[in-house]
Amino acid sequence: MTEPHPPDVGVALMLRVQSGDMEAFTELVDRYKASVLGLIQRLVKDRTLADDLGQEVFLKVFRARERYRPLSKFSTWLYRITYNCALNGIQSRERGRVVSLEGLRADGESSITFPDPRRTEPIDEIAGTELRVMVEGILDRLPANQRLAVELHKYEGLSYRDIGEALGCSEPAVKSLLARARQHIREKLGPYLREKVI
């Protein structure tokens, strides 16, 4: 039987939420909202949709509080919910469904205000380079599971094990997803890089 991960801050907060502590929920949202929004925005490429989906992620977290079991890192569980919400959002983009967290915050705020991900994502600090634009374009065309594996590994720093738990697959499957993504990127960038060298 797999041993659970040692408790982390997210797990501790979620267990407090589970016991009815609304301040812990507010703290949980404040702690993870930038990462959630950054990941969603990189996947859906739409700020308004990302804001809506970010609120939906935390609504799902709140609704799942009684069923929550700390069998992995909290962030791993949260990224799985985030990934599923992003996929659903992409599929139902035309419907424009908006989810509100009104009434859930202890301080009376009616919704979550997310920071601008351009100010929190290191990749945006090197914006404007031709190569970066090309790589982002290639990443956008990868299958969703490959793209998320790259995002979680490169930008969120998750281990193969944690990515596997977030995606619901094995570590070897994660390595395969990343290898296929890297191969695809190399193939697409090959002509560009050869042109620059010549």
CB 83 within 8 A of CB 150: no
Q: Can you give the pLDDT at residue 83? A: 87
Number of folded domains in the chain?
2
Answer yes or no: do 104 and 126 share one domain: no
Domain around 179: 121-198
> What is the C-alpha separation between 185 and 90, in angstroms, rounded?
23
Tokens of 190: 């090959």
d(CA 128, CA 133): 7
The predicted pLDDT at position 117 comes to 44
Name the strand (E) or helix (H) holding 54.
helix 47-63
**pLDDT of 58:** 94
CATH number (domain holding residue 136) = 1.10.10.10
88 and 54 both lie in a single domain: yes
- Identify the domain boundary among 83, 114, 145: 114
Burial class (CB in 10 A: 0-12, 13-18, 19+), 55: buried
Question: Is pLDDT at 105 greater than 70 in this prediction?
Answer: no
| Domain C-terminal end among 67, 91, 114 | 114
CA–CA dist 105, 23 (Å, integer):
8
Q: Are 97 and 85 in contact (CB under 8 A)?
A: no
> Is residue 157 located within the same domain as residue 109?
no
pLDDT digits (tens, 9 = 90+) for 47-99: 888 899 999 999 999 999 999 998 888 988 999 899 888 888 877 764 544 44
Q: What is the pLDDT of residue 198?
A: 42
Distance of alpha carbon 64 from the chain centroid: 18
Residue 11 has pLDDT above 60, yes or no: yes
What CATH number should be reported for the domain holding residue 87?
1.10.1740.10
Residue at which a domain ends, from 114, 145, 175: 114
Confidence of residue 129 (pLDDT cuts 50, 70, 90): low
Q: What is the chain's mean pLDDT, rounded? A: 77
State whether 107 and 153 are in the same domain.
no
Burial class (CB in 10 A: 0-12, 13-18, 19+), 29: buried
| Dist CA 185 CA 181 (whole Å) | 6
On whether both 1 and 32 belong to a single domain, the answer is yes
Grade residue 145 by pLDDT with cuts at 50, 70 and 90. confident
Do 60 and 11 belong together in one domain? yes
